[in-house]
Amino acid sequence: MNDGNFKFRPRARILKTLGEELISSETVALIELVKNAYDADAKHVLVRFSGPFEKGKGSIEVIDDGHGMSSKTVQTAWMEPATNAKRKKKISEKLSRRMLGEKGIGRFAASRLASELELITRRKSSKQEVYSYFDWTQFDDENKYLDEIEVLCEDRKPQDICPSGSISCLFDKEDSIDLDELNHGTILKMSGLKHQWSKDRFEELQRGLSRLIPPYKKQFDFSIRLELPEDFSEFSHEISTSQIVKYPHYRIKGAVDKGGSFSFSIKVHETGQEKKIKGVFNKKTYNSEILLIPNVNKSDTGHGPDCGPLEIELKVWNRDELGNVEQMVKSSIRDIRRDLDDIAGINIYRDYFRVLPYGEPHNDWLRLDIRRVQKPTYRLSNNQIVGYIKITADNNPQLKDQSNREGLDDNQAFHDLRRIILCLLTELEAVRYVQRPRKKKKKDSLYTGLFGALPLDKLQKHFTDKHPEDSEAKKLFAEAEEKLLSQIESVQTVIGRYQRLATLGQLIDVVLHDGRQPIATILNEALLGREEIEDNLDKDLVILISIIKKFVKIEGQGSLLRTAFNRLEPFGGRRRGRPKQLYIEKIIHDSFDVLGTEIKKLNVKTVLPKTQTLVRVDESEFQEVIINLLQNSLYWLQHVDKDKRSILVSVKRVAPDNLQITFADTGPGIQNDIREEIFEPYFSKKPEGIGLGLTIAGEIVSDFYGGKLELLEKQDINGAIFRITLRKRV
């Protein structure tokens, strides 16, 4: 074996890998080539297909009127993979556009599309055009090295980029054109198609190109036109955005600055209602999760998101109420829903050009459909939304491309961006829920829960009046009522188990968090203690005292684990007997202890009752009520400054059969327009909230204790005040 220095010598097929493996589809390949035209200051681009559209036949041309390239540029920058030319020069030379391509691989999308490429290009100042020919099949030869591939490149008298050449097809014949506009540009003619093209592929291409045109920018000096043979003439037109986007049912629009301050408006088009929201997106939580904090100019604690500044517009449709769209676009509801499926999604635009694959059909990058599964009548799905997020490369440096230029790096900035969109959607969903027609509860009616009085009395009375002598019927009624009550009792038992499981599931993270540290300490101290005993069997009393201290520490950590398990024991699945007589205040204290770690980390001051009030309750049932209220309070208290976070609980026996517990916090409170909705199943203002906490708590209080859970008007504190009234077993 020879010693010495060696150089990398890549095989020719590496270029094929770049073109075919880094570019995921033919549509993406053409979009990359159109982006290159944009970077070259083109104002017009034509994508022209010639049949037959079978593998190995036909051709695709991409023609633009950009500034073109010189022979030197073709031989260096254009033919050098991963060139840093666009990284050094981020602004286009004529129109000062922000360059879209940075990695230097987009041009090899041509190899994904066809076997041969003819590149014709001309600078405005040049009297000649550059002609290059690439035979991509050369790169299939596994025995050839990259430096053995020969590419034809020559200067020639203008044939295609001149007033009488192919470049003229960019303009209508009726238009008056400055002849100088026909003396520069680039033509990519790709022959020998590598894949068959069908109507579905053309629809995909049309949809992809239409999303390149930013619908929010009225004046955009860049047009894209498709031209196909007569059999596919329906696709031969200038690319534009869908008309559907003009007629949404709801819209949220606004901006987030670099520090996280935001200003948005939510519009309900049916009523003309417009709601303004201002505040700050801030990482105030102990787990560094972004929160939407309304009515605050700048937070005193925490810091803003890593992804700003942002401009955001989200448009939403009720898919079962598309009559307004049908009226305006003159299409059937079925076709409108299909078209909405095609354009739906939340797109990211950087410097006015779209970042793939966000917003592509079925690209649910925010996981909205999964989020909706738990709350189908409340949450929005991906196919109901068309959204635009506007960023710039210079102002959002952490929102950067992955190596294949399809998607952004999954870093903290991208995580913060996702969280911001989810917070905004949560605000919009709440407005939509309140506005949408549905059956309302009567305000003056007493909420009796799922298992209120059975409506059999009137039926039984009516039958008795009509058939007073039918004793057999009376007996059947009595048996049916008894059986129904027994079945309801069984259902109550099952629901009670599921309610306990729901709360238990939420507490698993608490147990894991609080339990890991004591276990780590126990294992560490036990190991050290054993090693000291083994190493010092013949030593004096001082060593034994040190070992004893270690075992004292082990004992203390074990006690912490035992306490954690004791707190969770009421939620276990073991069969319970009749409710015991217990002090309600002790149950409240134990409930707060379960979430003690979070309370401490959030710096929440708690004022709990010190009285001793005997009640007959199921400990686990009532802990569920308190823990659900407590979890809600802890979430919303993150929205206020640390020195203002408090929870106050008091107990008062109003009468022998009436016990009242008041649960208040100093959080942001509950907005007036949603006070009636907060107890309804699935309603939640939390981005990841299921919306069942208050519902479960209310059902327990109503069904098992004959009472009610209610939201009180604000009193001395600017937060939420709940009152639990118990009328049974107390």
Spell out the SS3 assignment of 294-346: ECCCCCCCCECCCCCCEEEEEEECCCCCCHHHHHHHCCCHHHHHHHHHHHCEE
In the chain, count of helices (H) and strands (E)? Answer: 17, 22
pLDDT tens, residue by residue, 241-291: 888 888 999 999 999 999 899 999 999 998 888 999 999 998 866 566 788
Q: Which pLDDT value is given to residue 386?
A: 93
Please check whether residues 273 and 130 belong to one and the same domain: no
Q: What percent of the chain has pLDDT over 70?
A: 76
Of 394, 416, 435, the domain-final residue: 435
CA–CA gap between residue 684 and residue 692 (Å, rounded): 8
pLDDT tier for residue 300 given thresholds of 50, 70 and 90: low
- Name, of 97-106, 130-139, 571-580, the range with top average pLDDT: 130-139
Mean pLDDT of 502-531: 61
CA–CA gap between residue 547 and residue 532 (Å, rounded): 7
What is the number of domains present in the chain?
Answer: 3
Flag whether 8 is in a domain: no
pLDDT tier for residue 683 given thresholds of 50, 70 and 90: confident
Range of the domain at 621: 462-726
Please check whether residues 281 and 332 belong to one and the same domain: yes
Answer yes or no: are the C-beta atoms of 66 and 184 closer than 8 Å.
Answer: yes
Please check whether residues 249 and 236 belong to one and the same domain: no
DSSP letter for 22, please. S
pLDDT tier for residue 702 given thresholds of 50, 70 and 90: confident
Rounded (10°) angle between helices 619-637 and 471-535 = 70
**What six digits make up the tokens of 53?**
């559209």
pLDDT tier for residue 444 given thresholds of 50, 70 and 90: very low
Please check whether residues 236 and 251 belong to one and the same domain: no
We report the CATH number of the domain holding residue 217 as 3.30.565.10
pLDDT of residue 574 exceeding 60: no
CA–CA gap between residue 310 and residue 328 (Å, rounded): 31
Of 214, 241, 268, the domain-final residue: 241
Q: What percent of the chain has pLDDT over 90?
A: 33
Long-range contacts of 633-636 (CB under 8 A, 24+ apart): 633/663, 633/665, 633/667, 633/720, 634/595, 634/598, 634/599, 634/602, 634/604, 635/686, 636/665, 636/667, 636/668, 636/719, 636/720
- Name, of 84-93, 386-395, 533-542, the range with top average pLDDT: 386-395
pLDDT tens, residue by residue, 174-212: 566 777 788 999 999 999 999 999 998 998 898 888 877
Q: Which pLDDT value is given to residue 125?
A: 84
Flag whether 722 is in a domain: yes
Question: What is the model's pTM?
Answer: 0.66
Please check whether residues 585 and 660 belong to one and the same domain: yes
pLDDT of residue 464 exceeding 80: no
Flag whether 6 is in a domain: no
Report CA 148 to chain centroid distance, whole Å: 48
Please check whether residues 490 and 347 belong to one and the same domain: no
Of 241, 261, 286, the domain-final residue: 241
Q: How far apart are the first and last CA of the chain?
A: 92
Please check whether residues 234 and 249 belong to one and the same domain: no
Please check whether residues 82 and 219 belong to one and the same domain: yes
Flag whether 444 is in a domain: no
pLDDT of residue 639 exceeding 80: yes
Residue from 425, 373, 436 nearest 682 by CA: 373
pLDDT tens, residue by residue, 62-114: 999 999 999 888 887 766 666 665 556 678 888 777 776 655 566 678 888 99
Report CA 518 to chain centroid distance, whole Å: 36
Answer yes or no: are the C-beta atoms of 510 and 493 closer than 8 Å.
Answer: no
Please check whether residues 278 and 138 belong to one and the same domain: no
**What six digits make up the tokens of 99?**
């360059």
Q: Which pLDDT value is given to residue 171?
A: 85
Q: Which pLDDT value is given to residue 381?
A: 93
Flag whether 496 is in a domain: yes
Residue from 278, 180, 222, 225 nearest 30 by CA: 225
φ, ψ of residue 247 to 5 degrees: the values are -130, 60
Answer yes or no: are the C-beta atoms of 464 and 715 closer than 8 Å.
Answer: no
